[in-house]
């Protein structure tokens, strides 16, 4: 029969136990309580788990004994010990009695003696354990009562801590109410401070307005005078723009008159040139045939006459009568200056453009002055308005000043629009001059052929954009180039007029229909109308003619461009074919 060694259950640490090798699952045993308390548990650790613990309730004495039996190793009595461990086992079982006995006093092993010794030691051990159990039970009851009081205190402290934490986190209704009240107090304080500052500011503004009333009235008077002056200047600008518009209309009228006059002169000169060419050809042929008839007659007279007579040239009276009017017409045509009209038109255009440019500069200067005055007035008005002024003006005065400013802005806009129109007019005039220059480019080849490398002819490659009215006085250069080309063309015409006795091969007359060779006796009579037009070409009768309408001018320009394109195609067919043949 195995017994449990109760000496190993020592929770207070008063008794010592021997080292048992099978002691693996050792735990602390709580004593048996009265009436089966809930806090009495057995704690045992599983061999496979290191930290997990399982608690079993102990309600009876047998549960306690069973727990002790399971936990402790079986008790070994002195009779069952081996030789090497007799002394140590006896010391463990009965420390008090074994300490008194010496190894010499031990008798030989006997069964009865060993059993008695075991029973006595077991009895002593049970008594000792019962005494320890009673002491531990009393101590556990005391500790349990203390634990209950401490748990109650802990619960009360936890409740207090929870409430204190809520108060610290301001989660209580009183804390919420306090926060709301603090916010309201801060808002009311800010509003009161703002009202106080506004009150002080208003008082300061009132004092400033009372102190600076006189200077404000003077400033308002000065502003009113400046506004009146600006209105007068705007009216002057408007009047000047009207004058410019009328001058532009007059300039356009003069330009149209000059174009019409130039076309009429070109038409009559072309007609006269054609008539003179026909007359010269007929006269040359008649003279050649007359000389041939005279030679034939002289030959016949020499053959049939007996006496030799010197050859006498017989003059043709009708031819002599015809040479007189031709000489008079030639002298009259040479007396007319062909460059005078072109020079006058060019000078007139240059003067017109210079006057328009001067008026434009004057208008720009006045506009800049007006803008500067307006800017200064606006700055003064803004400073006066921001500072409050010496005296607050009425709404009626503010409305009147605003209306005057609006009128000034409207006048400035009108003057600006008129200035833009004037600029557009100047641009249109320059575009017209450039279009004329582009049309005259066609005659560059003719001028080079007839006059050679004439240094006065400049190219039109430098024509710039027409968005600006006069960039670097380019308009004057264009007019001068046009004048040079027209002068060269007139010089070519004079050259061919002087060489009219030679074979006439003028490229501009290729569109003139050729005369039939049998029509040798046709001599176009010079009408009175042509004579009057030739004699009065430079008079004021041509300039006094009515200006044609736009449709007529458009048709004339279209016909002129068509004639130029046809002449260009007829003049240079061989020059276009030569490069192809060379290739």
**Using one digit for the tens of pLDDT, what is the confidence trace for 544-564?**
344 445 555 555 566 666 666
Report the candidate in 497, 542, 520 with the shortest Cα–Cα distance to residue 257: 542
Whether residues 409 and 477 share a domain: the answer is yes
Cα separation, 412 vs 236, whole angstroms: 11
Task: Identify whether the C-beta of residue 280 lies closer than 8 Å to the C-beta of residue 498.
Answer: no
Number of domains in the chain: 3
pTM exceeds cut of 0.75: no
Strand partners, 43: 55
Q: Sign (positive/negative) of CA torsion 154, 158, 159, 160?
A: positive
As a 3-state breakdown, the chain gives helix, strand, coil percent values, each rounded to 5, of: 70, 0, 25
Task: Provide the token pair at 296.
Answer: 């034939």
Identify whether residues 202 and 132 lie together within a single domain. no
Q: Is residue 552 part of a domain?
A: no
Q: Has residue 157 been placed in a domain? A: no
Q: Which of helix, strand or coil describes residue 131?
A: helix
125 and 196 belong to one structural domain? no
Pull the structure tokens for residue 441: 């480019």
pLDDT at position 87, please? 46
Q: DSSP per residue over 220-243, as a string?
A: HHHHHHHHHHHHHHHHHHHHHHHH
Residue 479 burial by Cβ neighbours in a 10 Å radius (0-12, 13-18, 19+) = buried
> In the prediction, which pLDDT does 448 show?
75
Q: Hey, what are 384's tokens? A: 């006066």
Q: Which domain range does residue 189 map to? A: 173-211
Residue 396 shares a structural domain with residue 465: yes
365 and 514 together in one domain: yes
Give the CA count within 13 Å in the CB-facing half-sphere of 467: 1
311 inside domain: no
d(CA 133, CA 10): 10
Would you tell me how many other CB atoms lie within 10 Å of the CB of residue 518? 7
C-alpha–C-alpha distance, residues 579 and 583, integer Å: 6
Q: By three-state DSSP, how is residue 42 classified?
A: strand
When pLDDT is cut at 50, 70 and 90, the band that residue 159 belongs to is very high
Three-state DSSP class for residue 551: helix
Same domain, 195 and 290: no
- Say whether both 420 and 515 belong to one domain: yes
* CA atoms of 489 and 485, how far apart (whole Å): 6
Residues 574-583, mean pLDDT to the nearest whole number: 43
Contact indicator for 223, 401 with CB cutoff of 8 Å:
yes
Tell me the mean pLDDT in the region 154-165. 91
Which spans in 305-394 are helix H?
Answer: 317-335, 340-387
Answer yes or no: is pLDDT of 533 > 60. Answer: no
pLDDT at position 549 is 53
Q: Would the pLDDT of 219 be above 70?
A: yes
> Which percentage of the chain shows pLDDT scores above 70?
54
Report the distance separating Cα 86 and Cα 93, nearest Å.
11
307 vs 378 pLDDT, higher one:
378
pLDDT surpasses 90 at 147: yes
Within this chain, do residues 194 and 224 fall inside the same structural domain, yes or no?
no
Digit-coded pLDDT (tens) for 177-201: 888 999 999 999 999 999 999 999 8
Any domain includes 281: yes
- Rounded mean pLDDT, 161-165: 89
Q: What is the pLDDT of residues 446-455, one digit of tens each?
A: 777 777 655 4
Residues 94 and 184 occupy one common structural domain: no
Contact status, residue 340 vs residue 538, Cβ threshold 8 Å? yes
Mean pLDDT on 240-266: 80
Query: What mean pLDDT comes out for the span 135-155?
Result: 92
Q: What is the DSSP letter of 81?
A: S
The residue among 512 and 401 whose pLDDT is bigger is: 401
Q: Are 387 and 460 part of one and the same domain?
A: yes
Q: What is the pLDDT of residue 30?
A: 40
Confidence of residue 295 (pLDDT cuts 50, 70, 90): confident
> Residue 237's pLDDT is what?
81
Give the integer Cα–Cα distance in Å for 427 and 536: 35
Average model confidence (pLDDT) for the chain? Answer: 67
Contact, 140 vs 33, CB < 8 A?
yes
Query: Same structural domain for residues 364 and 511?
Result: yes
Inside any domain, residue 481: yes
- pLDDT above 80 (res 120): yes
- Please say if the pLDDT value at position 318 is more than 50: no
Mean pLDDT over 250-277 rounds to 83
Place of tokens 């009150």: 199
CB 4 within 8 A of CB 69: yes
Output 329 or 39, whichever has higher pLDDT: 329
Does 560 reside within a domain?
Answer: no
Claim to verify: residue 368 and residue 507 sit in the same structural domain: yes
Does 329 score more than 80 pLDDT?
no
Which pLDDT does position 158 carry in this prediction? 92
C-alpha pair distances (Å), 312 with each of 246, 286, 290, 296, 323: 73, 19, 13, 12, 21
DSSP per position, 459-493: -STT---SSSS-GGGHHHHHHHHHHHHHHHHHHHH
The answer for residues whose C-beta is within 8 angstroms of residue 477's C-beta and 6 or more apart is 458, 462
Is residue 468 assigned to a domain? yes
Give the tens place of pLDDT for each residue, 463-517: 444 444 444 455 567 777 777 877 777 777 777 766 654 544 444 444 444 444 4
Q: What is the model's pLDDT at position 577?
A: 42
Q: Using 50, 70 and 90 to split pLDDT, how confident is the model at 77?
A: low
**pLDDT-wise least confident of 50-54, 236-240, 298-302, 324-328:** 50-54
Say yes or no to pLDDT of 252 above 70: yes
Domain edge (last residue) among 120, 140, 160: 140
Q: Is residue 195 assigned to a domain?
A: yes
- Condensed to tens digits (0 to 9), the pLDDT of residues 1-56 reads 343 444 444 333 333 333 333 333 333 444 444 344 444 444 444 444 444 445 56
d(CA 185, CA 123): 85
What's residue 153's pLDDT?
A: 93
Token digits for 187? 């808002």
pLDDT at res. 53: 44
């Amino acid at each position: 029969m195995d017994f449990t060694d109760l000496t190993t259950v020592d929770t207070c640490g008063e008794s010592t136990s021997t080292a048992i090798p099978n002691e693996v699952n050792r735990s602390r045993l709580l004593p048996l309580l009265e009436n089966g308390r809930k806090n009495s548990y057995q704690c045992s650790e599983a061999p496979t788990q290191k930290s997990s613990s399982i608690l079993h309730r102990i309600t009876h004495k047998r549960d306690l004994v069973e727990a002790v039996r399971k936990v402790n190793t079986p008790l070994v009595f002195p009779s069952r010990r081996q030789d090497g461990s007799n002394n140590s086992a006896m010391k463990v079982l009965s420390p008090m009695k074994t300490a008194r006995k010496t190894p010499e006093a031990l008798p030989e092993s006997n069964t009865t003696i060993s059993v008695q010794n075991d029973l006595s030691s077991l009895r002593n051990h049970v008594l000792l354990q019962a005494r320890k159990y009673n002491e531990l039970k009393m101590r556990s009851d005391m500790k349990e009562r203390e634990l209950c009081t401490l748990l109650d205190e802990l619960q009360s402290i936890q409740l207090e801590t929870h409430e204190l934490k809520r108060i610290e986190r301001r989660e209580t209704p009183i804390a919420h109410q306090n926060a709301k009240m603090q916010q309201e107090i801060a808002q009311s304080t800010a509003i009161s401070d703002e009202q106080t500052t506004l009150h002080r500011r208003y008082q300061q503004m009132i004092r400033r307005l009372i102190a600076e009333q006189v200077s404000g009235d003077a400033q308002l008077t000065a502003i009113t005078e400046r506004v009146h002056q600006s209105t007068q200047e705007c009216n002057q600008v408007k009047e000047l723009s009207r004058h410019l518009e009328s001058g532009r209309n007059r300039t356009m009228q003069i330009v149209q008159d000059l174009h019409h006059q130039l076309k009429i002169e070109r038409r009559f000169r072309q007609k006269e040139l054609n008539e003179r060419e026909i007359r010269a050809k007929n006269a040359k042929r008649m003279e050649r045939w007359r000389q041939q008839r005279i030679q034939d007659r002289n030959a016949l007279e020499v053959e049939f006459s007996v006496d030799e007579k010197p050859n006498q040239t017989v003059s043709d009276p009708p031819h002599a009568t015809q040479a007189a009017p031709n000489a008079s017409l030639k002298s009259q045509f040479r007396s007319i200056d062909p460059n005078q009209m072109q020079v006058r038109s060019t000078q007139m255009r240059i003067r017109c453009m210079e006057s328009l440019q001067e008026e434009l500069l004057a208008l720009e200067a006045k506009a800049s002055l007006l803008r500067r005055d307006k800017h200064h007035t606006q700055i003064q008005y803004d400073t006066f308005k921001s500072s409050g002024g010496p005296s607050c003006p009425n709404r009626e005065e503010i409305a009147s000043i605003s209306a005057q400013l609006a009128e000034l802005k409207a006048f400035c806009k009108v003057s600006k629009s008129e200035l833009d129109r004037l600029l557009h007019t100047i641009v249109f005039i320059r575009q017209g001059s450039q279009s004329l220059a582009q049309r005259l480019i066609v005659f560059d080849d003719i001028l080079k052929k007839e006059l050679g490398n004439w240094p006065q002819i400049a190219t039109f490659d430098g024509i710039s954009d027409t968005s600006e009215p006069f960039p670097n006085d380019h308009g004057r250069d264009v007019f001068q180039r046009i004048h040079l080309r027209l002068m060269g063309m007139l010089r070519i015409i004079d050259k061919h007029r002087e060489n009219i006795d030679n074979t006439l091969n003028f490229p501009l007359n290729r569109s003139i229909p050729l005369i039939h060779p049998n029509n040798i006796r046709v001599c176009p009579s010079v009408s009175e109308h042509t004579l009057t037009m030739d004699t009065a070409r430079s008079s004021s009768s041509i300039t006094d003619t009515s200006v044609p309408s736009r449709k007529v001018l458009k048709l004339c320009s279209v016909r002129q461009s068509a004639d130029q394109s046809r002449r260009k195609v007829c003049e240079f067919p061989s020059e276009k074919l030569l490069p192809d043949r060379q290739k």
